Amino acid sequence: MKDHQEEIRILGQAQNRIDGLYYRAAKKLGIKDNTLALLYALDDGQPHSQKQICEEWLIPKTTINTIVKELAGQGYLTLLIEEHTREKTISLTPEGRKYAAAILQRLYQMEQEAVHLTLLRHGPDFIRAYADFAQNMKESFDRLFEAGEREAKTDGRPTDPK
């Protein structure tokens, strides 16, 4: 396999710049970056479980629990216990939808402008390729870190990824 370290560094730097912009946007909006991520996740109008948000957005469960309690206490979220499970479904209240819309308005505008220019330059394949790269990274992570962690726990030694 060809060494793609230079390309990986470019992608990593670009991703860190994007993450940094979301972090800075959250600060400018007066909220925590993970609160911004939760509002963003819930702003699709669908109910989501805490587990689903943790898995899809890679936010720790304890962090989500804390943010959910804060936003529910402010009247922005409702929590519904699913039948036959301990899982809670989270959704925005009408007041929460207004709050999220106010918070996310400029962020969505920033994203729309950036994606418009990117698609003009690179076409729609860019989006599919980026999503594919993210999925490939997740699969490599699971294979090299998650499986290795399970093996290390069984015999106490780190595993060789070969």
At 107-131, the pLDDT tens digits run 999 999 999 999 999 999 999 999 9
- Does pLDDT of 156 surpass 60? no
Q: What is the pLDDT at residue 157?
A: 55
Residue 25 lies in a domain: yes
Which letter does DSSP use for residue 124 in this model? T
The tally of domains found in the chain comes to 1
Residue 153 lies in a domain: no
Closest Cα to residue 59, out of 49, 45, 46?
49
Q: At what angle do helices 61-73 and 50-57 cross, to 10 degrees?
A: 130
- Kindly indicate the confidence band of residue 162, based on its pLDDT and cuts at 50, 70 and 90: very low
- Does pLDDT of 133 surpass 80? yes
131 φψ region: left (φ > 0), alpha (ψ -120 to 50), beta (else): alpha
- Does pLDDT of 155 surpass 60? no
Residue 146 lies in a domain: no
Residue 101 lies in a domain: yes
Q: What is the pLDDT at residue 52?
A: 94
- Kindly indicate the confidence band of residue 153, based on its pLDDT and cuts at 50, 70 and 90: low
When the pLDDT of each residue in the chain is averaged and rounded to a whole number, the result is 91
6 φψ region: left (φ > 0), alpha (ψ -120 to 50), beta (else): alpha
- Kindly indicate the confidence band of residue 81, based on its pLDDT and cuts at 50, 70 and 90: confident
Residue 27 lies in a domain: yes
Domain of residue 119, CATH code:
1.10.10.10
Per DSSP, the residues of 57-108 read: HT--HHHHHHHHHHHHHTTSEEEEEPTTSS-EEEEE-HHHHHHHHHHHHHHH
CA distances for 17 relative to 41, 51, 104, angstroms: 20, 27, 19
Phi first, then psi: give them for residue 41, nearest 5 degrees: -60, -40
- Does pLDDT of 158 surpass 50? yes
- Does pLDDT of 7 surpass 90? yes
Residue 102 lies in a domain: yes
> Considering Cα of 126, then 130, then 133, then 135, what sign does the dihedral take?
negative
CB 35 within 8 A of CB 71: yes
- Kindly indicate the confidence band of residue 151, based on its pLDDT and cuts at 50, 70 and 90: low
Q: Is 42 exposed, middle or buried (0-12, 13-18, 19+ CB in 10 A)?
A: buried
Residue 44 lies in a domain: yes
Residue 3 lies in a domain: no
Provide the residue range defining the domain that includes 112: 20-123
